[in-house]
Amino acid sequence: MTLPYGDVGLMMTQNDTPAAKAAAPSVRVVRSSIRSDSHRRAVRAALPAAPLLIFLLVFLVIPIGSIVHTAVSDGEIARALPLTTQALQAWDGDDVPLSAVYMTFGQELEAAGHAGSVRPLSRRVGYELSRGANIILGAQRILSEDFDRADPQAWKAQLIKADPAWGQSGVWSIFKHYNGRYSAFYLRWATGFPVKIEADGRLSQETSYDFRSIYLRTILISLVVTGLTILIGYPVAYVIANASGRTAAVLLFFILLPFWTSLLVRTMSWIVFLQTNGVLNATLAGTGLISEPLPLLYTRLATIIAMIQIQLPFTVLPMISVMRAIPTNQVKAARNLGAGPLRAHATIFLPQAVPGIAAGGLLTFVLCLGFYLTPALVGGPSDQMVSFFIARFTNEDLNWGLASALSVILILGAGLVALPLARHVARHSSDRI
């Protein structure tokens, strides 16, 4: 009875005897009970992890989903002015719409005023139309005046009296375009396309955030930090990987120290160290090397140095674990065959350390892309990265749509870089766990 169950099934199909036919259902029962047993085991194995999984599903996956949803949600206009946007679909976009549309709009704006949805509408229009918020609020104000409410022409005249923009195509083309609940407006804005128009429909010359240069800056700072942590981290990892137990432990302690000292405290220490009346400037002035304090804080240099200190452990640790696995015999053999110490290192050791360098470097790069605290505290205005603007649009400008669109782009970018990393971790985690 040591046959694997698969063979029992195979015998079944070959021996088509009545007895075997009679036995068939019971074999099927055995099989299905084996399958359901393995299902039950899998469920039982997964059970302890269920609370955390449910927790992460609710408070991590759904919130990230709601970021994506917010980035494409754009219903303020259609919600406040459903009939106007509908009526405008017949408008060809030239000149201005019919007077009847003015009347529909005016009535809907008054209704929106009672429902309290003018503020989101005016803010939304303001994102896309220069002076847009004032144009909407001005219209709302003037409609409370006395005029002939039965005559569409009177509505039109009243609105144009409030702002000449109502006699131009810009604001109407915006109403026409956003007749649904979703749009790519925030994503277009966040990817650096010009979105703001003037009342006459031309693109606005108003300068706004240059998101493309912000992404470029984010990538550049992350690349520089990654490159420098690899350059500094490689010799450090080499020495630690080759050191004897006690020395290695002490060096590791120094590398790990940043791991468990507060990120905020470390960033603070750079401020104390680098600021105008800080330790470094005072020391340099004391030795007579400088007469004026150097502007060290709130610079890109300060940002990069502080980020290197924070990221070094993340780069070094994967390098050490890979380097420790490299057999020393091979370097020895290369030396015996006449290679110089540097050549033996470069041709034998270094290529085998590449997986560690790649893993550490990728991890550092991905983490750098999302940095917020350190640039916000030790960097200047021109050193702020994507995360800073996400926080700013969320907490100060209350523009969640734009903040979400920036987040979507940041996650997509980081995800693309992290994918090979995830595959690497997946491949190696099975050996470790």
Which residues from 385-414 bind other proteins, rule CB under 8 A?
A: 387, 390-391, 394-395, 400, 403-404, 407, 410-411, 414
- Please select the residue that binds other proteins; options are 4, 6, 18, 63, rule is CB under 8 A: 63
Rank residues 11 and 60 by Cβ distance to other proteins and give the closer one.
Answer: 60
Residues 41-60 that bind other proteins (CB under 8 A): 41-42, 45-53, 55-56, 59-60
Options 12-20, 39-47, 100-108, 120-128: segment touching other proteins (CB under 8 A): 39-47
Amino acid at 279: V
Establish if 433 lies at the interface with other proteins (CB under 8 A): yes
* Residues in region 72-111 near other proteins by CB under 8 A: none
Which residue lies nearer to other proteins by CB, 160 or 271?
271
Angle between the N-to-C axes of helices 18-46 and 5-14, in degrees from 0 to 180, rounded to the nearest 10:
150
384 vs 372: CA distance, rounded Å: 8
Q: Residues 275-294 vs other proteins: string with x where CB under 8 A?
A: x-xxx--xx-----------
CB of 175 to other proteins, least distance (A): 26
Token reading at 35:
């399958």
Per-residue contact string for residues 330-369; x = within reach of other proteins by CB under 8 A: -xx--xx----xx--x--------------------xx-x
DSSP 263-321: HHHHHHHHHHHHSTTSHHHHHHHHTTS-SS----TTSHHHHHHHHHHHHHHHHHHHHHH
| C-alpha dihedral, 22 to 26 to 32 to 33, nearest 10° | 180
Q: What is the pattern of x (binds other proteins, CB under 8 A) and - over residues 363-382?
A: ---xx-xxxxx--xx-----
Tell me if 309 contacts other proteins by CB under 8 A: yes
Closer Cβ to other proteins, 112 or 414, answer by number: 414
Contacts 24+ apart (CB under 8 A), 417-426: 417/362, 417/365, 417/366, 417/369, 418/362, 418/366, 420/362, 421/359, 421/362, 421/363, 421/366, 424/355, 424/358, 424/359, 424/362, 425/359
Angle between helix axes 350-369 and 400-432 (nearest 10 degrees) is 150
Q: Would you call 16 helix, strand, or coil by DSSP? A: coil
Q: Within 13 A of 338's CA, how many CA atoms are on the CB side?
A: 0
For residue 418, the minimal CB distance to other proteins (Å) is 6
Q: Which is nearer to other proteins, 174 or 302 (CB)?
A: 302
Cα separation, 297 vs 314, whole angstroms: 25
- Within 123-182, the residues that bind other proteins by CB under 8 A are none
Among 10, 29, 34, 64, binds other proteins (CB under 8 A): 64
- Give me the sign of the Cα torsion angle 158, 162, 164, 166: negative
Interface pick for other proteins out of 261, 290, 354, 416 (rule CB under 8 A): 261
Asked if 211 touches other proteins (CB under 8 A), the answer is no
Among 197, 236, 304, 353, binds other proteins (CB under 8 A): 236
Number of residues in the chain: 433
